Amino acid sequence: MAAAKTRTSSFSRNLSAAAPSQGPGLKCGPNGTVFLSSGISDLDKILGGGFPLGSLVMVMEDAEAPHHMLLLRNFMSQGLVHNQPLLYASPAIDPRGFLGTLPSPAASKDEKSHKHDPDQEKGLRIAWQYKKYFGESQLNFDGQRDGKHEYSNEFDLRKPLERHFLSAQRVDCVSIQDSPNLSALQDRSATFLSQYPRNDGSISCAGRIAIQSFSAPQCAYSNMEWDMLSFIRSLKSMVRSSNAVALITFPPSLLSPSFCKRWQHMADTLLSVKAIPDEDKELSQLLTGYQDMVGFLNVHKVARINTQVPVILDATTFSIKLQKRRFLVLECLNQAPVDGSSGTSYGTSGSCSGSSKTGNLDF
């Protein structure tokens, strides 16, 4: 519920020049925040609009699954499609190679919206998962707009991004494997962010920073935990005063527990991905749609800038599915119907309940 409702108070900020002419990549939100899209429309809805400018997003990886790469790829592609410059750092020796795997926006939304129509024809539908179907009507409505100028694109993971998006002015790559300390990366980030300072004027352009596997073991600095923490802190403060969003993924299993907690506290928005076991009979009985799932996404923290009101999500665990092996969707978990006690299966056991699809109906 709270993810959809935006509290409108009688006090409203005087948005003098900020609102118009920002282009499709940015969206205004409440409390004077401006959002940019994460590249995954479901995730934008869950987070209440997207990633706010000036925030630090951290993703906790699972050592057993590469799902954080899906988030990274969508984030990076979205920025490039919207002409938002990107700084990409990775522990690979040649980070540029990764750019070849970025997905391209899908052709059009029409094919997606038509898919739902045959389902509507069926006479009898089981209504216990009714919340799912409200989301569909919203989706059809969104699809009316022209694909190119949307705030959030649907990315086709099988189609690589066109070359002209990857030109050097827009993408800057850094390899963090061999650098003995983080000063080089810090300098590069500072230079990058200084191009997008935040002031009360209109926002001309927003930037994105994507750091992959920040504490990967092959990086020379990876056992200097305090240094890494102070880098994150300085990056966070630099990002806060600029029109940019930084996304850092890191494997928490390789950090000591106290540092893992400290890093989690540093984040404005904290997500984690988790692998799911293959051919697990218990899970397939307990969850519908288990066959299509590739992993779980947990939302631990949602960025709240300029406000004290917390976000309380209906559900914090979502399943990651690849539709037709191309499109990334996030769905809330639905438990399979239980013998008799169907009332309690919607219940309040934290992560398996309700619907995150925002709708006007406030169940």
Partner 1 sequence: MAESICRALRDGALEGEHAPALTIKDSIASPFGFHVFCHVLSQLSSFILAGKSQSGGLVVVSFSRSPSFYLELLKNKGIDVVSSDKRIQILDCYSDPLGWKDRLIEAGNFTALSHEASNSSTANVLKDVKHMDKLYNSIVERGKGLIGGGKNRFSVAIDSVDEMSRHASTSSVAGLLSNLRSHDQVSSIFWLLHSDLHEARVAAVLEYLSSMVTSLEPLHQPANGHRGDLENLSLIEHNLKKGKFHVRIKRRNGRVRVMSEEVHIEQSGISFTSLSSEGAINQGLVPKVQFSLELSEKERIDRANVVLPFEHQGNGKPIQIYDGRRSLADSKHERQVAATEKVQTNEDSGGGEIIYFRDSDDEMPESPKASI
The binding site for partner 1 (CB under 8 A) comprises: 63-67, 91-93, 177, 216-220, 222-223, 251, 253-254, 256, 274-280, 282-283, 286-287, 294-296, 320, 322, 333, 338-339, 341, 344, 349-352
Query: Least Å distance between CB 63 and partner 1?
Result: 4
Query: Least Å distance between CB 322 and partner 1?
Result: 8
User: How far are the Cα atoms of 172, 195, 260 from residue 191, in angstroms, in the given order?
Assistant: 11, 7, 28
How far is the C-alpha of 188 from the C-alpha of 174, rounded, in Å?
Answer: 8
> Is residue 336 within 8 Å of 286, Cβ to Cβ?
yes
Query: Least Å distance between CB 275 and partner 1?
Result: 5
CB closer to partner 1, 26 vs 260: 260
CB closer to partner 1, 230 vs 349: 349
Its sign, for the CA torsion 314, 349, 304, 87, is negative
Residues belonging to the chain: 363
Query: Least Å distance between CB 274 and partner 1?
Result: 7
Query: Least Å distance between CB 211 and partner 1?
Result: 17
Buried/exposed 106-119: b ≥16 CB within 10 Å, e otherwise: beebeebbeeeeee
- Find residue 242's DSSP bridge partners: 197
CB closer to partner 1, 4 vs 92: 92
CB closer to partner 1, 26 vs 161: 161
Phi-psi bin for 21: left (phi > 0), alpha (psi -120 to 50), beta? left
CB closer to partner 1, 200 vs 282: 282
CB closer to partner 1, 64 vs 119: 64
The distance in angstroms from the start CA to the end CA of the chain is 7
CB closer to partner 1, 70 vs 235: 70
Please give the DSSP secondary-structure letter assigned to residue 101: T
Query: Least Å distance between CB 292 and partner 1?
Result: 10
Query: Least Å distance between CB 324 and partner 1?
Result: 13
> Is residue 228 within 8 Å of 215, Cβ to Cβ?
yes
Query: Least Å distance between CB 294 and partner 1?
Result: 4
Secondary structure of residue 95 in the 3-state scheme: coil
- Find residue 287's DSSP bridge partners: 335
CB atoms within 10 A of CB 298: 15
34-36, strands of its sheet edge to edge:
26-28, 34-36, 51-52
User: How far are the Cα atoms of 128, 133, 162 from residue 125, in angstroms, in the given order?
Assistant: 9, 11, 42
CB closer to partner 1, 150 vs 314: 314
